[in-house]
Amino acid sequence: MNFESVFGRAKGRGALALAAALAAGLVAATPVPALAQGTLNPQKKPTNGSCPVNWTDRASQANDPTNVSSPKGDTCYPMRGAKPAFVPASSSAPCPAGYTKSGSFCHVGEKTFTQATAGPLTKAHPLDRCPVGWVTPPSNGNVCTTIAANPPKARLKGEGSCNAGELEDWGIYCVSDYDMLARKDAAKGTLDYNGIYQTSFKTTGKQQASHTADLPEGTAYTPAYFLIFGRVDRDGNPIPDKSGGQASATVADAAANPASAVESAVKQCVPKPKKKKGLGSALGGLAKEVAADLGVPTGEGC
């Protein structure tokens, strides 16, 4: 028996086994796929970065979204509705499949909410107003739902800008596919406002109204409503400018563009000015003269 030959073959098999073991070790040491990187543990926020949706850099908000007593820090904490997230290797690195960019992080979920009446839109904060065509349901203050016959699509805006074909609403949403939205379905903001008040105790521990400043036109409307329909109410009637800016400019605009003024003055009139001394009387007379020159009726009975 050739022992040298047998030993050589055994040595060769041992080398193969050793190589296989080393390969297995290398595979085990390889980083796990990105899909498994997301976590709900507090995470370090990148310098000059921001937290993802439903995360906060205020420690006091981790358990109470309305508690902003602590200053902003360099750590992001998950709040209610938070999804697993992680910081990508670089700010320009794309998020892997199943993740979307939110702030300086990648978090589980899709960027665009395409559901209409079938599913809710998760809010970034329970006291946020919902976008046009969507309302806060009485059962859950953390989401927006819709009862519109032809609702628009909506998504959280995040840190970026809205895309082409999208309208920004309340500074926190991007709304699209709104062409079939009816005015009466769009002007449901009062239901949204009341829904927040009704559910705030469940979601924040206090009964509160929306922390979004109401529009002067009323709680029924959102900023995107006027971008879609113009300055008309739910029935299509013009909404007057409460600031008086439009009315005060009418005479000056008419003098600058008489033809346009006559056309827009149909069924309108300039009230007869009250008798006052001084500058007020002079201005009233001037307004009446300009109106008369344009063919606009004047007087108390018009």
Q: What is the pLDDT of residue 227?
A: 95
CA 126, 129, 131 angle in degrees (round to 5)?
A: 125
**What was the pLDDT predicted at 10?**
43
pLDDT in the model for residue 285: 52
**Tens digits of per-residue pLDDT, 103-118?**
788 888 644 333 333 4
Tell me: the pLDDT tens digits for 251-281? Answer: 334 334 434 433 443 334 444 444 444 444 4
Length of the chain: 302
**Vertex 41 angle, CA 36 and 43, to 5°:** 95
Tens of pLDDT, residue by residue over 140-186, are 888 999 888 888 999 888 877 888 889 999 999 999 999 999 999 99
Between CA 23 and CA 10 the distance in angstroms is 20
Q: What's residue 231's pLDDT? A: 93
Tokens of residue 214, six digits: 């109401």
Closest Cα to residue 126, out of 59, 215, 210? 210
Tokens 């990187």 sit at which residue?
A: 37
| Average of per-residue pLDDT values in the chain | 72
Cβ proximity of 53 and 78 under 8 Å: no
Q: Is the pTM of this model over 0.85?
A: no
DSSP 195-263: HHHHHHHHHHSS----SSPPPTT-TT--HHHHHHH-SB-TTSPBPP-TTSHHHHTHHHHHHH-HHHHHH
Domain residue spans in the chain? 31-111, 112-239, 245-293
Query: Residue 156: enclosing H or E segment and its boundaries?
Result: strand 153-156
102 beta partners? 105
Per-residue pLDDT tens over the stretch 280-292: 444 455 445 544 5
The confidence score (pLDDT) of residue 119 equals 56
Least confidently predicted of 18-22, 176-180, 185-189? 18-22
Task: Please give the average per-residue pLDDT across 25-53, as a whole number.
Answer: 68
